[in-house]
Structure formats: structure tokens, C-alpha cells
Amino acid sequence: ADGTIEIPVVFNVIYNTAAQNISNARIAEQIAILNADYAASNSDISKIPAEFKPAAAGNVKISFKLVATNRKQSPKTAWRSDLEEMKKATTGGINATDPTKNMNIWVVNSILNENSQPGTLGYAYYPEVAGLWYDGLVIGYQYIGKTGASAPFNLGRTTTHEVGHYLNLPHLWGSTDAGCQTDYSNDTPASPGANLGTPSYPLNRTCGGVSRSQMFMNYMDYVDDKAMFMFSANQKTRMQAVVAAAGPRAGLR
């Protein structure tokens, strides 16, 4: 009644050891975290600095509902992000459940980059690939939910961040590593690159010779889970456009 769009979510859990086969309770925790973060009902929302309160999104009016959980044992101990083998049964993975209608999340034991190096917590695709077989999110099992998750990424915010990408949000510094590029949100200050750990506010950094107070507590930065707790109003507008009736992910509605 308040116009909230509910996205159906399918979890595809691919595990080697039993510990990697995360529980239904842990998946439920993750869904609850997404619903809190996207409704701005997260308990740490009060930490937004006064400077950024006028830019805060408030309720994004996008919610998440678990509709299926698929599980598969695999001999693989790591998965390369560029090969996408976790997303096809023919390559040892689990096929997406209709990605035009569902947000698929593959949970794997370890994510490697194209040079087979570890360090990626999760990744996702922008709406430009909407409906393709590899559309969706991939998240390391260590970063799903809270109970048993790996500090400092144990508040489920890797998934909050990756859903942001899925809903067309770049990083605050733009979509390439160059930094100081647009993120198409005028209410997030320009940023030269990722902030890590738990920065103290205020933190000023420079783009184009202009120093700006950084909105490092935004979900689209790289700080620790406990240091990120907001989307901006312009980010909300971008995400709503994606799930709107004429948007690229209208099939989720």
C-alpha cells in the first residue's frame, strides 16, 4: 500500500564442506538485513552525521522475499568470477531460477578473480544484463547473514552492497578504479576511491582540486560492515527507476 516493490529472491548454495552449507536461519538473517537496510530501519541509521542527514534516502521502498533455496554439493574449493561456472549445472553449478522474475544469489566457498587471486567478498551485475543466465549476485558464504559470519564483514552488508550494484548503483568513486568519476548521484560527494576499515568522521578527500567531506558510511563504499549504514536520496531514485514498470528489472515486480 505504501508502494514498496517486493523482489523475489532465490538462494543457490554450492558447498564443499558441511560448514559452507549455510543454514536456512542464516539465509533468513540475510533477508532480514536486506529488508532493514533498504527500509532504513537498520538500528545504526542514527549514526548518519548531521551533514548527511538531508541527503539520506529514508525508506527505499524495495523489499525482499525468499522464494526458494537450492543446494548442491561440489568438489570445487574456489570459483573464478569471470568463468561463472557456479551459474550453470553443466559446469558444476546451479542454473538461475528465471532471472527476469527473481534475484538469484549464488553462495560459494571462495571467489577468485580472473588471475585466480582471492579477496573478493561478492560481485553482481548492473541491470544492463537483466535476464541473462549469469544475472544476479555471487557472495562468499562467510559474508552471508550474521551468525557465524566473518568479522569485520559479519553484518550482511556485502549483500546490501551487491544488491546496490544489481539496482544500478556504482561505487561512490564511479564504476572504474580511476576514481573521481560520476556515480550519477549528485548528493554523494565525489570520491577518489575506496575507503576501508572504520574511518573517523569527518574525512576529507580531493577530486579535481576540491576537497570534500566523504560519505564513507554509504553502502556503496568499501568500509567494514559496521561502518556503513545509509543510501542517499539520489541512490534511491536510481534504484526505484530500475524496478519501475518501465524499468529494466520490471519483471521482478
**Strand partners for 205:** 212
- Of the candidate residues 161, 205, 236, 249, the single one contacting ligand ARG (CB under 6 A): 161
Of residues 6, 29, 128, 162, which has the active-site annotation? 162
Instruction: Kindly tell me which of 161 and 205 has the beta carbon lying closer to ligand ARG.
Output: 161
Residue 235 interacts, among ligand ARG, Ca ion, none and using kind-specific CB cut-offs from 5 to 8 Å, with none
Residue 122 interacts, among Ca ion, ligand ARG, none and using kind-specific CB cut-offs from 5 to 8 Å, with ligand ARG
CA 74 from centre of chain:
25
Residues of this chain, 144-183, that bind Ca ion according to CB under 5 A: 183
- For Ca ion, which stretch binds (CB under 5 A), given 33-41, 71-79, 135-143, 188-196? 188-196
Residue 198 neighbours by CB under 8 Å, 6+ apart: 152, 223, 224, 226, 227
Residues of this chain, 89-128, that bind ligand ARG according to CB under 6 A: 120-123
- Of the candidate residues 185, 218, 232, 235, the single one contacting Ca ion (CB under 5 A): 185
Count of beta carbons in the 10 Å neighbourhood of residue 252: 22
Assess contact for 183 and 170: CB atoms under 8 A: yes
Catalytic site includes residue 162? yes
Which grid coordinates are listed for 60? 527505499
Calculate the alpha carbon distances from 58 to 40, 84, 108 in Å: 5, 35, 32
Cα gap 64→81, rounded to integer Å: 25
Residue 201 in contact with ligand ARG, rule: CB under 6 A? no
Q: Cβ 105 to ligand ARG, closest distance in Å?
A: 14
Evaluate the CA torsion angle 133, 136, 142, 145 in order and state its sign: negative
Instruction: Kindly tell me which of 184 and 222 has the beta carbon lying closer to ligand ARG.
Output: 222
Q: Cβ 244 to ligand ARG, closest distance in Å?
A: 26
Assess contact for 3 and 241: CB atoms under 8 A: no
Site size for ligand ARG (CB under 6 A):
13
Residues that bind ligand ARG (CB under 6 A): 120-123, 153, 157-158, 161, 222-225, 228
> Among all residues, which ones are annotated catalytic?
162
